[in-house]
Amino acid sequence: MTSAKDALPKVLERIDSDLDRSLERLFAFLRLQSVSTDPAYADQCKAAADFVAKDLESLGLDAKVRPTSGHPVVVAKPRNGAAGNGPRVLFYGHYDVQPVDPLDLWKSPPFEPRIEQLPDGRKIIVARGACDDKGQLMTFVEACRAFKAVTGSLPLPTTVMIEGEEECGSKSLFPFVAEHADEFKLDMALVCDTGMWNATTPTVTTSLRGLVYEEVTVTCADRDLHSGLFGGAALNPIRVLNRILSAIHDENGHITIPGFYDGVPELPADIKADLAALKLTPEEFLGQVGLKTPAGEKDRMLIEQISTRPTCDVNGIVGGYVGEGAKTVIPSQATAKVSFRLVGDQNPERIRDAFRKFVRDRLPADCKVEFRNHACSAALQLPYDLPALVKARNALQEEWGNKAVTVGAGGSIPIVGDFKRLLGMDTIMVGFALDDDRVHSPNEKYDLTSFHKGTRSWARILAALAE
């Protein structure tokens, strides 16, 4: 039996020669209108699940469309137990897509995929799901297909799990994974749902920031008051909230809640040097949205502020009169939504409690406060020296010619946390999305290069992991 590494050159050739047919398969997948949030598309979601199962069967896997309380999950496992040696991997992706509204902003119908050439010469695949996540997950599937064609089997014992509710919170997947934990407790997980640093710099996402999201409502008087009559004497809940929320950050952008930074790791020097070498400038990152000056911790690089450091933001605030014109009211209540992005080992429950204490400690005597928690999840951090991570970075560098960077993602892929906490598996997140892919927006696209070199990248990563 040829080793995966020995077979790799032929596998890469096969990927190149099979590109047109792999695009045909992707386009067939993209034509399925698998919008998970809208019950009207339930049949199309089922059709997409069937499509994926059939395709995974063709890789020699034992694929089943398995019911959940919502849209089904496709699970494909090695026939006859472990096929081949090497680590048992679980590849995760999702066949569902975001809704297409507003439809009139699409230049062509969202479920009629097409190739377009941009003025700068780049070819792009345009369709809903072209990137998120159909195009991305097919880079992995096509890499497997090339191995199967060249060597007769997959290079690793591979389980594939493709769900249909990622765009609406994966709410059926959590209990499904918990219930069938034994099936999915493998050696590591692989995910292709993240992005590249830029079009030429391959990237492994090694951390996902956690999230604590609190809604805080301050009540002063038991009714709205007239500011002419009560102004000057009655406590104003907007002013109370303003004062407390503005105390969360100090002049240097640090968060002042006691204990907030407990569990925040310092970066290893080499990783910090790598990040610095990216030379992310405010012009480049903030310029795109009309800003110039990083607003975070003053003693941190911009790239740290957005990826490896914890943050706090007020995501919403409302109180009093907010209609047209003027009303001289002192409201009874004001509400704010406050969220924290967590990193490292920050404990979300402890931070939620510390925030609540911070607010209560600053509350004037005449106030009541109520809290509602909307999210309380810890950060995920891959050890930088994890062997699989090192292998993936090297494989990516071979394909792209540039050193692969490791970044922290601000957003989250809900199930990845459960892979770690419930199944004890680390997840290698490699993706080929670009910042201009218009994910979740009209005219979503995926660069043809992302698709093609993404497939080649997975072939290299699988070969490296099989060593």
Answer yes or no whether residue 203 interacts with a copy of itself by CB under 8 A. Answer: no
**Piece of 65-73, 148-156, 209-217, 349-357 that binds a copy of itself (CB under 8 A):** 209-217
Answer yes or no whether residue 102 interacts with a copy of itself by CB under 8 A. Answer: no
> Of 376, 371, 308, nearest to 340 (Cα)?
376
Q: Which strand (E) or helix (H) includes residue 464?
A: helix 448-466
Shorter beta-carbon distance to a copy of itself: residue 177 or 212: 212
Q: Which of 88, 148, 309, 352 binds a copy of itself (CB under 8 A)?
A: 309
Answer yes or no whether residue 411 interacts with a copy of itself by CB under 8 A. Answer: yes
* Residue 327 CB, nearest approach to a copy of itself (Å): 6
Shorter beta-carbon distance to a copy of itself: residue 13 or 370: 370
Amino acid at 106: W
* Residue 265 CB, nearest approach to a copy of itself (Å): 16
Q: Which of 234, 271, 369, 422 binds a copy of itself (CB under 8 A)?
A: 234
What does the block give as tokens for 6? 């020995």
Shorter beta-carbon distance to a copy of itself: residue 189 or 343: 343
Phi, psi at 163, each rounded to 5°? -100, 175
**How many residues contact a copy of itself, by CB under 8 A?**
76
Answer yes or no whether residue 267 interacts with a copy of itself by CB under 8 A. Answer: no
Answer yes or no whether residue 269 interacts with a copy of itself by CB under 8 A. Answer: no
Give the whole-angstrom CA distance, residue 57 versus residue 51: 10
Contacts of 241 (CB under 8 A, 6+ apart): 216, 218, 317, 319, 334, 335, 336
> Of 82, 50, 265, nearest to 187 (Cα)?
82
Answer yes or no whether residue 314 interacts with a copy of itself by CB under 8 A. Answer: yes
From first CA to last CA, the distance across the chain in angstroms is 14
* Residue 368 CB, nearest approach to a copy of itself (Å): 9
**Centroid of chain to Cα 324:** 38
Residue 251 DSSP symbol: T
* Residue 189 CB, nearest approach to a copy of itself (Å): 20
Answer yes or no whether residue 444 interacts with a copy of itself by CB under 8 A. Answer: no
Answer yes or no whether residue 243 interacts with a copy of itself by CB under 8 A. Answer: yes
Give the whole-angstrom CA distance, residue 432 versus residue 195: 5
Shorter beta-carbon distance to a copy of itself: residue 60 or 310: 310
Overall residue count recorded for the chain in this entry: 467
Give the whole-angstrom CA distance, residue 316 versus residue 331: 17
Q: Which of 83, 199, 235, 278 binds a copy of itself (CB under 8 A)?
A: 235
* Residue 9 CB, nearest approach to a copy of itself (Å): 38
Q: Which of 87, 99, 263, 320 binds a copy of itself (CB under 8 A)?
A: 320
Tell me the CA distances in angstroms from 291 to 128, 142, 164, 278, 283, one per residue in order.
29, 40, 37, 20, 8
Shorter beta-carbon distance to a copy of itself: residue 183 or 215: 215
Contact positions with a copy of itself (CB under 8 A) in 337-356: 337, 339, 341
Answer yes or no whether residue 281 interacts with a copy of itself by CB under 8 A. Answer: no
Answer yes or no whether residue 223 interacts with a copy of itself by CB under 8 A. Answer: yes
Answer yes or no whether residue 278 interacts with a copy of itself by CB under 8 A. Answer: no
* Residue 461 CB, nearest approach to a copy of itself (Å): 25
CA triple 87-192-271, angle to 5 deg: 80
Give the whole-angstrom CA distance, residue 50 versus residue 52: 5
Give the whole-angstrom CA distance, residue 33 versus residue 455: 24
Shorter beta-carbon distance to a copy of itself: residue 120 or 324: 324
Amino acid at 353: D
Contact 437, 444 (CB under 8 A): yes
- Scanning 332-413, the segments in alpha helix (DSSP H) are 348-361, 387-400
Shorter beta-carbon distance to a copy of itself: residue 334 or 464: 334
Shorter beta-carbon distance to a copy of itself: residue 17 or 252: 252
Give the whole-angstrom CA distance, residue 142 versus residue 15: 7
For strands 210-219 and 89-94, give the pairing. unpaired
Contact 436, 443 (CB under 8 A): no
* Residue 21 CB, nearest approach to a copy of itself (Å): 35
Q: Which of 152, 291, 390, 421 binds a copy of itself (CB under 8 A)?
A: 291
**Piece of 8-16, 155-163, 175-183, 290-298 that binds a copy of itself (CB under 8 A):** 290-298
Amino acid at 165: E
Contact positions with a copy of itself (CB under 8 A) in 361-390: 364-366, 374-375
Shorter beta-carbon distance to a copy of itself: residue 181 or 229: 229
CA triple 168-139-424, angle to 5 deg: 60
Shorter beta-carbon distance to a copy of itself: residue 47 or 317: 317
Answer yes or no whether residue 171 interacts with a copy of itself by CB under 8 A. Answer: no
